[in-house]
Amino acid sequence: MSRSKQGLHVQAVSKIVHCLTTDIRPPPYGSSSKSFITGVTQVDGVLVQVLDIEKVIHGIAPAQIVVQSTELAKEDAEVLSKARILVVDDSQVALQQSIITLRNLGIECHTARSAREAIDVLLDLQGTARQINVVVSDIEMSEMDGYALTRTLRDTPDFSDLYILLHTSLDSAMNSEKSQIAGANAVLTKFSSPELTKCLIEAARTVVAQGL
């Protein structure tokens, strides 16, 4: 996150638990928007909260969002206007960073806080003038992660041609390989506003060339 290496200093580790994405549920609806929790799961019958690490890191090293629409070349701004974008992220901080970047570029977007909500948005807009042609999705999400969302969209005829950019706070070759296997068009490490802008311009060029 914020294109920097971060470490967590913990006093003690009582147990390390590996769990499937499908075992993690979104936090209760009554949770405050200021909460540092991004999900919950059960371990040995005990409810365990999943830390929103992106929000924690943002408090330490906030990303600088600097790209403005006036900085874009005319042809880039024009092609970006053709993109109808859905941003999917279960972290409120990460979601807001993407929204601000897009608004600075003069682009409004649709949003979803989970993969399943994203599918609902895509279905609602399918066949309308606002039909989505670019999906920017987080990878680490509860219930269904970005890889599973990508595979689901690729297996769905109406959405198989969508441009999918996976946007992750984890920077590794493994993520790039898994993203490619899942069927994503590109993968980007959070959070760099200029790099996100470049990726969105490339996405817009691709969908325009394909007539999407």
With 0.85 as the threshold, say if the pTM is over it. no
| Residue 11, burial from CB neighbour count under 10 angstroms (0-12, 13-18, 19+) | exposed
| Cα–Cα dist 22/26, whole Å | 11
Q: Over the chain, what is the mean pLDDT? A: 87
Instruction: Establish if 160 belongs to a structural domain.
Output: yes
| Cα–Cα dist 25/39, whole Å | 5
- The pLDDT of residue 7 is 74
- Kindly report the backbone phi and psi dihedral angles of residue 125, in degrees, each rounded to the nearest multiple of 5, phi listed first: -90, -10
- Kindly report the backbone phi and psi dihedral angles of residue 97, in degrees, each rounded to the nearest multiple of 5, phi listed first: -60, -40
- Res. 43: pLDDT tops 60: yes
Instruction: Establish if 1 belongs to a structural domain.
Output: no
Of the chain, the percentage scoring pLDDT greater than 70 comes to 87
Instruction: Establish if 141 belongs to a structural domain.
Output: yes
Query: What are the pLDDT digits (tens) for 14-31?
Result: 888 888 777 788 777 666
Instruction: Establish if 55 belongs to a structural domain.
Output: no
Q: What is the DSSP string of 16-33?
A: -----GGG-BPPPTTS-T
Q: Please answer whether residues 3 and 67 qualify as being in contact, where contact means their C-beta atoms are separated by less than 8 angstroms.
A: no
| Cα–Cα dist 81/201, whole Å | 10
Output the domain CATH number for residue 129.
Answer: 3.40.50.2300
CA 60 to the chain's CA centroid = 20
Instruction: Establish if 50 belongs to a structural domain.
Output: no
Q: What range does the domain containing 78 cover?
A: 69-210
CA angle 197, 201, 207 (to 5 degrees): 140
Instruction: Establish if 74 belongs to a structural domain.
Output: yes
34 confidence band (pLDDT: 50, 70, 90): low
Listed range (32-41, 70-79, 87-96, 146-155) with the worst mean pLDDT: 32-41
What is the count of structural domains for the chain?
1
Instruction: Establish if 169 belongs to a structural domain.
Output: yes
C-alpha gyration radius of the chain = 17
Query: What are the pLDDT digits (tens) for 149-204?
Result: 999 999 999 999 999 999 998 776 778 899 999 999 999 998 888 999 999 999 99
Instruction: Establish if 146 belongs to a structural domain.
Output: yes
| Cα–Cα dist 136/193, whole Å | 13
